[in-house]
Amino acid sequence: MANKNKILVPSARKELDKLKARIMKEQGYHVESNNPDNVKYEIADELNIPLSKGYNGKLTSEQAGKIGGPIGGNMVKEMIRMAQEQMLKK
């Protein structure tokens, strides 16, 4: 499945992938450091959501949100924590 997420700074993709891998490992998931996107299949499996590589057009928005929510939500929380830490240092 191609990564269709657009980020403001394309060169940041590698660091965002590292962040995703670290956060999801902390959450107890098995994460391949060279392909952290694969964690979504583990989450889908836990939730009994039929996510497969390739086309997943039959998934509902709710199902997709249940898979991506824990990943993106935890990443946002960590980025906020990191920003707050940086602000305290100044």
- Which range of residues forms the domain containing residue 40? 10-89
Cβ(66)–Cβ(40) under 8 Å?
Answer: no
- The pLDDT score that the predictor gives to residue 76 is 94
* pLDDT above 80: residue 83: yes
Rounded Cα–Cα distance for residues 55 and 28 (Å)? 27
User: Residue 2 domain-assigned?
Assistant: no
- The pLDDT score that the predictor gives to residue 54 is 87
User: Residue 30 domain-assigned?
Assistant: yes
pLDDT tens for each residue of 33-79: 788 889 999 999 999 999 999 899 899 999 999 999 989 999 999 99
Q: Nearest to residue 59, comparing CAs of 70, 50, 68? A: 50
* pLDDT above 50: residue 4: yes
The mean pLDDT value for 12-35 works out to 89
User: Residue 52 domain-assigned?
Assistant: yes
- The pLDDT score that the predictor gives to residue 1 is 46
Split into its structural domains, the chain has a count of 1
